[in-house]
Amino acid sequence: MQQLAGTVLGRVIEAAPEGVLVCDARSADSPVVYVNAAFQRLTGYGAEDLLGRNPRLLRGEDHDQEGCRRLREAVARGAPVRVTLRNYRKDGTALWNEILLQPLRDEAGELAHFAAYYRDLSERIQAPDRPLEGVPTWQREDRISGLSTRAWFEALMLRDWAVARREERPLTLLLFDIDDLARYCDTFGKSAGDAVIRRVAWVLSSSFRRGADVFGRWQNGCAAVLAGPVVPEGVNAYARIVAQRVAEMHLHHPRGLSQKFITVSAGVATAVPDRDEGDCSRLVRAAEAALKRAQVGGGGRVEIASQADFGASAA
């Protein structure tokens, strides 16, 4: 791919305002074989850092994103895809990218390369006083639950975290996980499990009615709610109301470990951002630790994060 240098096409790509890289689809792990100047300026990585390596290095250990899953599936199929991902520059600062992945085929029609076009969304997503506009609905809405995708929920959470830090006010994250969902799907099938996810999502959105509340699908049968400025005791009470309402739907679950109906466990964490705290990983870590403790208790329980949870490893 370095033969592009000096050609008209090469000069056009080098002058492009958006980051462009090309990966070899025929080699193991699809290593980078070309990267333009805009991509290097965007990420802080030089060509020598990227050539021969998979671009996932931009995500560090942050691979649990909805966009990552969709990107992997597209690569496996050799199909185009557009995703929004949270990456990290070489200096460690967060970078939100809209990525358009396009497969390139040779004269025989065989998949040869992937071209990826990177657009910087950081300013639009992180600026706390600007609306998050311009991202298509299909990138924002989870098709099963109707809630926000995890990537979009995390973008909104990052924005609200910045506002809370500036205003020195608390944010509350609630995680609701459907108990024994895998066993339910094994019994009734995936489509039935998807229906349960939709029912639980409806209970969430009907229980938290404030316009400032944000809903998202966290992973599998786990959903998240981000509650803005509110008395923590009130949010804790709402969490218990949600758990009760799900149980009262009496959705039969013959293989449930604790009960014979669908239940949800919940973890709740509230924090005021520190002035020098750039992201909300501390809040997420505490909510996940509280959720794990609730699940150990047998299902249908709500646990509130303790001070120790804010320093615990993620569940």
> Which range has highest mean pLDDT (109-123, 207-221, 282-296)?
282-296
Q: In the chain, where does DSSP find H-type helix?
A: 8-15, 37-43, 47-50, 66-77, 122-126, 137-140, 150-167, 181-188, 190-207, 232-248, 281-296
| CA distance readout (Å), 187 to 16, 181, 256, 269 | 53, 10, 10, 33
For 260, the 3-state DSSP assignment is coil
Q: Which residue has the higher pLDDT, 97 or 196?
A: 196
Residue 8 has pLDDT above 50, yes or no: yes
Q: Decide if pLDDT at 212 tops 70.
A: no
How many CA atoms lie less than 13 Å away from 5 in the CB half-sphere? 8
d(CA 294, CA 174): 12
Comparing CA positions, the residue from 283, 181, 282 lying closest to residue 222 is 181
If DSSP states are collapsed to H, E and C, what string results for 297-313?
Answer: CCCCCEEECCCHHHHCC
Highest-confidence segment of 155-164, 191-200, 221-230:
191-200
Q: How many CA atoms lie less than 13 Å away from 218 in the CB half-sphere?
A: 21
Measured distance CA(55)–CA(101) in Å, rounded: 12
Confidence at residue 128, expressed as pLDDT on a 0 to 100 scale: 47
Asked whether the domain spanning 135-311 has the same topology as the one spanning 2-120, the reply is no
Cβ-contact 25, 111 below 8 angstroms: yes
Residue 215 has pLDDT above 60, yes or no: yes
Per-domain residue ranges for the chain? 2-120, 135-311
Average pLDDT score over residue span 210-214? 71
The domain made up of 135-311 is a member of CATH 3.30.70.270: yes
| Percent of the chain surpassing pLDDT 70 | 84
Are 156 and 132 in contact by the 8 Å Cβ rule? The answer is yes
Predicted pLDDT of residue 198: 93
Residue 9 has a pLDDT of 64
How far is Cα 156 from Cα 44, in angstroms, rounded to an integer? 25
pLDDT given for residue 230 in this prediction? 62
pLDDT > 60? residue 226: yes
CATH topology of domain 2-120: Beta-Lactamase (3.30.450)
The residue behind tokens 């992945």 is 101
| Residue 151: predicted pLDDT | 82
pLDDT tens figures, 92-146: 887 888 888 999 999 999 999 999 999 887 665 555 445 455 455 556 788 899 8
Task: Evaluate if residue 203 carries a pLDDT over 60.
Answer: yes
pLDDT for position 182 = 92
pTM given for the model: 0.59
Tell me the pLDDT of the chain averaged across its residues. Answer: 84
